[in-house]
A and B are shown apart, each in its own frame.
Chain A
Amino acid sequence: MTQPAARQPVAIVGWARTPMLRRTDKTEAHLLFDVVTGATEDAGITRADVDFSCAGSCDYVAGQAFSFVQNIDAVGAWPPKRDSHVEMDGAWALYEAWVRLQLGDIDVAIAMGSGRSSTADPATIYPMEMDPYYLAPLGADALTFAALQARVLLDAGLVTERQLAEVAARTRGDARTNPYAQVSGEYDVDALLEEEYVRAPLRRHDLAPITDGAAAVVIARGDRARELTDHPVWITGFAHSAEAHQPGVRDLRTSASARRAAKAAGADTAPIEVAELQTAFTHEEPLLAAALGLGPEVALNPSGGPLAANPVMATGLIRVIEAAQQIRDHGTQRALAHATSGPCLQQNLVAVLEGDR
């Protein structure tokens, strides 16, 4: 893998999120309309100033083929716009937008992510993202595979159930100050551990909520970014990596692909102060922190993370927003954002964000 450090400087200059709700009756296009308006306003531009747009969404989550086609209405693609779509989390849409700006001929791009998980039953949908011949017929959903991985960590002595409950209590405690949190509050770890398993060894507090929501991020190149804001958040490293699909052939105690992505993004070249990780399950936090080389000095998911709100297909992009917000609004100098896809963290993406020095 090649990932030279010197690139076109590209910065995050604006963003927006919808309220994070258990269920909304707004369409994805409507959710996206709101965040495209919000993110462009935040960047001090209009839709007409956006040279390239890229959306991330999933037909199976939407329950409709070509579901993203309606979402183009949110972008305002008239006159027609340079535009793309990934059947991945919005964090990968941001990656494509970042690559597009690297070509150097255009200056401003918007990346979006949207999902309404409330409209379907995750236990029905997620087995279909598995190998259709050997794994999908088992009917095992994302929760089952997560439970398997949590069991591996417990058996290896890398975590305890108490530590997992502590992650839940800490992140949802932190989420109390996050206006976009869907689940937050004060939790007693002993009480949490009294609860029944949902799927052993995971309890309800170990799981992310079901959330409807969308997010958008505006990025701009070099001088244009500086023109647009006094507080650009520079993307100084950006990479992703996959590993084998079949969890049985992987070492589930760690995440080799997350480690590779972090290395390729140059995360280890200077201290990280804050990390926003796409941890839809409590046990993924210690696992990813170790794989990404994040020590106890790094603040993990101060927003509450996906355990506080999990709008699938936008959850990863929101990690980027939360990390960028730490830099723009809270004085953090260097932050890491992480996104993931697939069973047991099969694919991982890392963005390194830095403030203007």
Chain B
Amino acid sequence: MSAGPCAIVGIGQTDHKTRRWDVSLGGLVREAATRALEDAQLTWADIDAVVLGKAPDLFEGVMKPELYLTDALGAAGKPMFRVHTAGSVGGTTGIVASHLVEAGIHRNVLAVAYQKQSEGNAQFALGSGKGASLGAGGAFAPYMRSYIQQTGAPADIGPMVAVKDRLNALKNPYAHLRLADISIEKVKASPMMWEPVRYLESCPSSDGACAVVFTDEEGGRAAASDGRPPAWVLASAVRSEPASFPGRDPVWSQGAADCAADVYRAAGLTRPREQIDCAELYVPFSWYEPMWLEAHDLADRGEGWKMVERGDTALDGAFPVNMSGGVLSSNPIGASGLLRFAEAALQVRGMAGEHQVDGAKVALAQAYGASAQYFSMWVVAGSLDAVG
């Protein structure tokens, strides 16, 4: 690799809500970006390029919004780049931005991802206005049923994930859903949406944005010596595969396995299960937590649900997952991937507040999209030599 190191020195996110009618689209992304710049102690003028990510333009009814948002994001006079890789887009946005730094093309790059779901009707847009959409829950439910059938996972696993993530969200001041009285019983009493997923096992529709400031090795070291810990991007990876063809396994997909293997290898992780301290995984429906643990080789096949059952994935467990509350607690779709990536970085910076995992040095983030066929992942660490 001729690539240089890349550090994350600024992270910002909006207050995620069902409706952020107090801000325009520009105001929403600017709220996240301003917070990221403040965290990085940089100004708009210090940013060399902006990378913008979001899921379909039909969700808000603004085509190619990078054009309009050029002004709000201080990108006039700079390169403005727009990524769209379905639900994985937030992760890909961070990765594309980090590549610009690693390749030495720019020194300081701002990545911003958002969705303002209240501006439109995602279900309508997913069906392209033709009214034929299953919705994401309907699309993923067969995969979840297949997982349960093949592993014999008990029915309570999904509700356990839902309770865990929602309790974590209470410790995250930015989280959208704050359900203090959540319980397994309550989840199981909520309406069945798409068998096996109940209402309280599903992600909300959120308005929100996330922003991350990337800089080069010199910038990262300068922040560190100034007492502002950076997160270093040890490795990133992406994989895509076709949506459907005979023989595709959408539960333990090849793309998920390959993406994980690639990012572990590039980060120098030979024993990822022991070497990774915590993970932010894209779990919009409860059952996806054990499914991704297995598909990304963080648990053996059929063992992921046992990690959930044992409480390993709880904030104080052996392998904490979605400390922030995850997608189950905030889902501004296009931003959800970058939020995972940013939360992983917050952990290794020791800046995750009440949902901090003690002593987290190496963290994993993942996002996925479309028919569970697009994957983006990265491994971040508090130091460049964190992986021994």
Contacts and interface: CB of A to CB of B under 8 A. Distances in A.
Interface of A: 1-4, 7-8, 53, 58-60, 63-66, 68-70, 72-73, 75, 77-88, 92, 95-96, 99-100, 102-105, 125-126, 128-133, 135-136, 239-246, 256-257, 260, 341-343, 346-347
Nearest to B87: A66
Interface in B233-259: 237-243, 245, 253-255, 258-259
A83 B106 contact: no
| Central interface residue in A75, A87, A125, by most chain B CB within 10 Å | A87
Contacts of B69: 245
Contacts of B64: 58, 60, 87-88, 129, 341-342
Nearest to A101: B103
Interface size range of chain B in the complex: 35 or more
Given A79-B258, A80-B254, A102-B103, A129 B70 contact: no
Given A2-B105, A65-B58, A72-B243, A84 B71 contact: no
B84 A346 contact: no
Given A2-B106, A84-B85, A132 B25 contact: yes
B287 interface: no
A174 B376 CA distance: 45
Contacts of A59: 56-58, 63, 84
A242 B76 contact: yes
Interface in B61-87: 61-64, 66-71, 75-86
A96 B97 CA distance: 10
Nearest to B371: A69
Contacts of A82: 237-240
Given A79-B254, A81-B239, A86-B81, 8 more contacts: A3-B105, A81-B241, A85-B84, A129-B68, A242-B76, A245-B76, A341-B64, A342-B67
Contacts, number: 200
9 contacts: A2-B106, A64-B128, A69-B243, A78-B242, A85-B84, A86-B82, A99-B96, A132-B68, A257-B77
Most buried by A among B1, B240, B374: B240
A139 B299 CA distance: 54
Nearest to B259: A80
Interface string B90-106: 00100010011011111
Nearest to A257: B77
A78 B245 contact: yes
A343 B66 CA distance: 12
A238 to B, nearest CB: 9
A87 B86 contact: no
B126 interface: yes
Contact of B3 (A58, A65, A83, A103): A103
Contacts of A68: 84
Contact of A244 (B70, B102, B254): B70
B62 A128 contact: yes
Contact of B63 (A128, A242, A260): A128
A136 B239 CA distance: 36
